[in-house]
Chain A
């Protein structure tokens, strides 16, 4: 195989892996949108908040230390050596569930039967609140997150691919980050588990029922409030996974919440109501972005990776507004 072709494969694979990360974020949106019709603007911030909490627990930070120090004039930062990773993840999950519960109790429950736009506004509010609250709780400095996932390039893969090129070619093998590989595996497991859960369990059936028809769901005895807590908890869990992945890759900082914006073109492509859509949409955006950067970028002076996805999404809107897998929306007039 020629080095040019091998390069293409490398870019393609890296695109797929980046795409998986987008899919993870988009998944959180889809879950909530399907179950409650809410476009959760705060999904990105939830990922940030989850990552912050995880780092904080891992490193043994005292929550609200700045606030406490400012008010009481104390100087506390840490309460100890921190928690083992596994325990920290578990505890973070508990925090996310608690967040979902609080949210349902104090926000959503009061907005039942409101217009979607109102609920959307509420999630914007939630996003800013959560961002500030996260800062207040854990501080606004950039943190590194390490949950023990392998990182760095895979030498083994480099060696394998090196041998594919002709002997005399100037080719040094493919670079694939081990972190991306773990992310892919985790994402696959997560999605499989979620779809099995929704297909084969009573709660899964209830989730699908609520997504399909609220009124009918109520009549068979499904408590919408309970389902919302479950859905937001699952979305919180997905946010935690996304937060871990992105955080491990590029540090835990405010920009993490911006991954939500990356999920938008994915959703437009895949449709707001389809889980497979979120996956496939993410992959297409990921691959498209990397290929465009590598092959079209040089022609127009580079750096198209940042806006390419939005252009694709825009073009897509013109032809298939409901997305690849979304429900067709036909308004009768």
Chain B
């Protein structure tokens, strides 16, 4: 008798729940300052990200948005302040630790493994969830084999979700930009993250690709219940997608609230219109 895989349910994450109730703070950024040499990138910034929401971080160029994301996932270590993620307070975290705790991200300039296939790229997203000993892997038997197959199945679900079956075996370096962005999202999803950080997921896309990407982001948020923090330049997209927005300018927080509140905030309007500071 054959076994037929036909999901009667939509694909959902299997990662055990992180214990935070929907609407409670998942991540709290408290009084963070970061500087490079003498240059201050971020000054005394605090905000929180609630479980289940889509949180946008916006601001003019050089406002410190990407730096903020890099602090959250451990690429940069702030000189001051703490980050509380899933109730655990810490001041510095290495990137791979952040990943292990359920923070996945994409990059502004796409950081995929260009020489590897789409499938392999997304499989790397599951590295934090594959715990079998390297020796088992070397033998490719027993538990490691089972683990590989289980993880492959989940990755196939993600490939299906993102509708990229037809490029499964293609090296990502050969794909057009829009598809690479989608593969990168796939790799981040493969980690079944509690918090998904998206750094300008729609940069450089045409209108149709943007609409596709928005749909995927909303689907991820609703279907998987994943909390998402995103940086985006396209204001239309930000206001449509996000539940709450935090606005940075010159490394400082100048606004925080619902899209409507932020839209009417005078400081924000000034920042975007380029009213000179001090």
Which A residues lie at the B interface, using CB under 8 A? Answer: 196-197, 200-206, 208-209, 211-213, 215-224, 230
Contact = CB atoms under 8 A, between A and B. Distances in A.
Contact of A222 (B111, B124, B140, B147): B124
Interface centre among B100, B105, B111, B116 (most CB of A within 10 A): B111
Contacts of B140: 196, 200-201
B97 to A, nearest CB: 8
Interface string B92-113: 0011101110001101000111
B275 interface: no
B130 A202 contact: yes
A197 B136 CA distance: 11
Contacts of A204: 137
Contacts of A202: 123, 126-127, 130, 132, 137, 144, 147-148, 151
Given A201-B144, A220-B191, A215 B127 contact: no
Interface in B126-148: 126-128, 130, 132, 134, 137-138, 140, 144, 147-148
Contact of A213 (B73, B98, B112): B112
Closest 7 CB pairs of A and B: A221-B99, A216-B111, A212-B113, A221-B128, A201-B137, A218-B95, A223-B96
B187 interface: yes
A220 B107 contact: no
A213 B111 contact: yes
Nearest to A204: B137
Contact of B104 (A213, A220, A222): A220
A179 B187 CA distance: 47
Given A208-B113, A208-B115, A213-B112, A220 B187 contact: yes
Contact of B113 (A196, A213, A221): A213
A258 B127 CA distance: 39
B137 A220 contact: no
B256 to A, nearest CB: 26
Nearest to A199: B120
Interface string B64-87: 000000000101000000000000
A223 B96 CA distance: 5
Nearest to A216: B111
B134 A221 contact: no
B125 interface: yes
Given A202-B144, A203-B137, 14 more contacts: A201-B137, A202-B151, A205-B124, A206-B127, A209-B124, A212-B115, A213-B112, A213-B113, A216-B107, A217-B124, A218-B96, A220-B191, A221-B191, A230-B134
B127 A222 contact: yes
B266 interface: no
A216 B113 CA distance: 7
B114 interface: yes
Contacts of A196: 140
Nearest to B120: A205
B187 A201 contact: no
A282 to B, nearest CB: 22
B115 A221 contact: no
Contact of A221 (B100, B137, B144): B100
A90 to B, nearest CB: 13
A204 B123 CA distance: 11
Nearest to B128: A221
Contacts of B98: 221
B141 to A, nearest CB: 11
A76 to B, nearest CB: 36
B7 to A, nearest CB: 25
A208 B96 contact: no
Contacts of A201: 134, 137-138, 140, 144, 148
Contacts of A222: 96, 99, 124, 127
Contacts of B107: 215-216, 219
A219 B111 contact: yes
Nearest to B138: A197
B231 to A, nearest CB: 15
A219 B134 contact: no
9 contacts: A201-B140, A205-B116, A209-B127, A215-B111, A216-B107, A217-B113, A219-B107, A221-B95, A222-B96
B122 to A, nearest CB: 10
A224 B99 CA distance: 13
Interface centre among B73, B99, B104 (most CB of A within 10 A): B99
A121 B218 CA distance: 51
A218 B75 contact: yes
A48 to B, nearest CB: 27
B193 to A, nearest CB: 10
Contacts of B114: 212-213
A216 to B, nearest CB: 4
Contacts of A208: 113, 115-116, 120
B73 A219 contact: yes
